Amino acid sequence: MSKSQLSAYFFIAPFMIIFVIFMGYPVFYSFYLSFHQVVDYYDMFGGMKFVGFAHYIKLMGDSQFWWSILMTLYYAALFIPLNIAASFFLAVLLHNKLRGSRFFRTAYFMPNVLDTLVVGVIWIFIYLPNGPLDHILSAIGITNFSSTGFLGNPLSAMPAVVFAMVLKSAGFGMILFLAAIQNIPKSVYEAADIDGASPWQKVVQITFPLVKPIVLFLSVIGAITALNAFAEIYAMTSGGPYQSVGSQALGVTNLSGYYLYRTFESARYGYAAAISYVLLIITLVISTINMKFLSEK
């Protein structure tokens, strides 16, 4: 082995040690934990009983888990199209040579770098009963949310959370769309001008079809974001408000990521580990589909 190779391994070693300690070991230990039941919470290594696939079997019949998956699908169904539409609209708007476009690009992207927990706390104050948004709506005669606020109403809680996250995330998609639009040859638009195409026709028939790979990418990222959504739910709703479904009270914003957190918080460590691996499998399936479609593009 040459000196250059030894030097490379020497510089890589600190990262690999840190990765194994803080990432690799927890991954393998959580997989091990998913097949065990903790019986002694003061001894997380020796105080466990092997239960095999019991946690996974129990998960298949857990109505709370499947409800969280259903609410995650609802979150994704709202978030993905709204995020793509907002990102594409901003990109098309800023692609035009408008005065101050650089400032607006930065301004629209800034919320994306804020911590999700911070964004959630800010929106709590906006959505409060008799808060800023409620005053604006009351001025135009909409008073349905004055008593509960947007986050306290089962009908509006999820859309309110999604709206806040779209405003936070749209800047990222805007940058991707903007880069893709700027790579479209000007000759394509010049040919459309000669044919008498309107600005709307150029956007719908030229711009949007040529940026479809970005649409697909943001769709998959949005699905993964929904599966991992936690901080916004933790900050804004804590899984509520609750509504009666059959004989159970179920939270309308109790997403899969938040349900995983609540399971772990209640000291059901083995069961929480099993949930995390089921969510991992779903994420891997979505990512594989994404890679397949992108490679075809």
Sorted by where each begins, the domain ranges of the chain are 3-54, 62-296
Burial of 73 (0-12, 13-18, 19+ CB in 10 A): middle
Which pLDDT score, from 0 to 100, does residue 264 have? 92
Average pLDDT, the chain: 89
160: which 2 tokens? 């309110």
pLDDT tens track for 186-206: 899 889 888 888 888 999 999
Q: Could you give the dihedral angle defined by the CA atoms of residues 261, 265, 266 and 272, in that order, rounded to the nearest 10 degrees?
A: 50
Burial of 62 (0-12, 13-18, 19+ CB in 10 A): middle
Mean pLDDT of the region 204-218: 91
In angstroms, the first-to-last Cα distance of the chain is 41
CATH number of 62-296: 1.10.3720.10
pLDDT tens track for 84-142: 999 999 999 888 777 777 888 888 999 999 999 999 999 999 998 888 888 888 888 77
* Reported pTM: 0.90
pLDDT tens track for 59-72: 999 999 999 999 99
